[in-house]
Chains A and B, each alone.
Chain A
Amino acid sequence: MIKPFKIIATRDDNGQGTGVVYSIEKIRRVDNKTIRETLEAYACVPYSEDIDEHILKIIKESNFL
């Protein structure tokens, strides 16, 4: 999987999942301006789920990309 995000830190979230701090960046060009946008957020990923796929799902739902 090519990940469009970066995992900054992980830790155990009170035994209920993996706490993940992630960031994602997008760059677009409008007229003569370069616009770079970044989101840094937290998610508690259940142990049973793949961290990358879970974060990607959240990002898709957020309409950030």
Chain B
Amino acid sequence: MSNGFLATNNNGQILISSDTRNLHLISKLSSPTEIVYSTADYGGIRILRYRVSNCSATPVPFFTMPSTSDYYGVTRITSVNSSTWDIEVIKSGSASSYPEVYIFADPRASTATDAYGLKVFRDDGTPSFDSRLKPLAITGGTFVSHPSNPKSSFSGSLSSQYCGSSGSTYFAPNNYNTYGVTITPSKPMFSFSSLAQAEREATWSSSQEECDGVPDGYGGCAGFKRVYTWTSTYWAFYRGAIKRGTNQIFAGWCTAAFGCRWTYQKDSSFIGIGTGGDSGSGGTWPYSNETLNLSSATVIIGDASRYD
């Protein structure tokens, strides 16, 4: 750089540069625009949508974590139109206090109204920094990765018939990794995009043979008999999320979706002559008991009180 502007701290780290764009506050969203989904089951699931307007550049959301018991993460950022975006935040637990979301973007996304300040331009004439727009100050950060298994041990027994049980307890996630990090702000805000995904499933089957004839003495049936077969496959999808401690970040899981699929079959026979049908299945599902994208994810920490 032969011309331009560069401000560094005592460690030589760049604070302001005319070559790279700083992030600036666009909007503070105190509550979700819509609660897309809510349940207390499966460890608690809240899927929250925050809509930000007047943002003409890609937003970078930070969120507060009002509860130290729950996991949070940004699971989706979608463009509604050229200046409106939807931010999807997932949260575990049942607490009804929701995160505040602070939207940051480069200074092209907003226009300052104050008359005085410091404004730095890139060589193409677009702004890279504007002190009037509340530039983002980072106070800490770390890298986290999630344990491969959302739950340390899946155990329990569910109904094989018509998905007749709730898998809530069976699938509720409880596994996490712990990372020490200094969290100095009294009101910290976090940037974390959920990357890791996992799916777990379990199948319960049962068959019941009813004999209307007489036992043949060998464990079989002489006469009419019917065989009923039930199968229920319970499943849950998970997204990686983070939880905060005093000076820790916990990388764990939120349940993002769950469900169950059942089958039922009845076969009849008379003295060994089948009067029912036949069936079969095979192959594999594309995504079954898998964990994806376990690579390190970045957690950035800022002081939310600077932007209130």
Contact = CB atoms under 8 A, between A and B. Distances in A.
Contact of B157 (A34, A43, A63): A63
B128 interface: no
A19 B199 CA distance: 13
Contacts of B149: 13, 16-17, 44
A43 B202 CA distance: 10
B154 A39 contact: no
Contact of B203 (A15, A35, A39, A64): A39
A48 interface: no
A37 B208 CA distance: 9
B294 A14 contact: yes
A57 to B, nearest CB: 8
A37 B206 contact: yes
Is the interface on chain A under 10, 10 to 19, 20 to 34, or 35 or more residues?
20 to 34
Interface in A15-33: 15-17, 19, 21, 32-33
B207 interface: yes
Contacts of B203: 38-41
A13 B156 CA distance: 22
A16 B204 contact: no
B100 interface: no
Interface string A34-60: 111111111110000000000000110
A12 B111 CA distance: 52
B148 A37 contact: no
A61 B205 contact: no
B30 interface: no
A44 B207 CA distance: 28
Contact of B207 (A13, A36, A43, A62): A36
Contact of B209 (A34, A42, A59, A61): A34
30 contacts: A13-B148, A13-B291, A14-B148, A14-B291, A15-B148, A16-B147, A16-B148, A17-B148, A17-B149, A21-B289, A32-B211, A33-B211, A34-B219, A36-B206, A36-B207, A37-B160, A37-B205, A38-B206, A39-B157, A39-B204, A40-B202, A41-B202, A42-B201, A42-B202, A42-B289, A58-B153, A58-B154, A61-B153, A62-B157, A63-B157
Interface of A: 13-17, 19, 21, 32-44, 58-59, 61-64
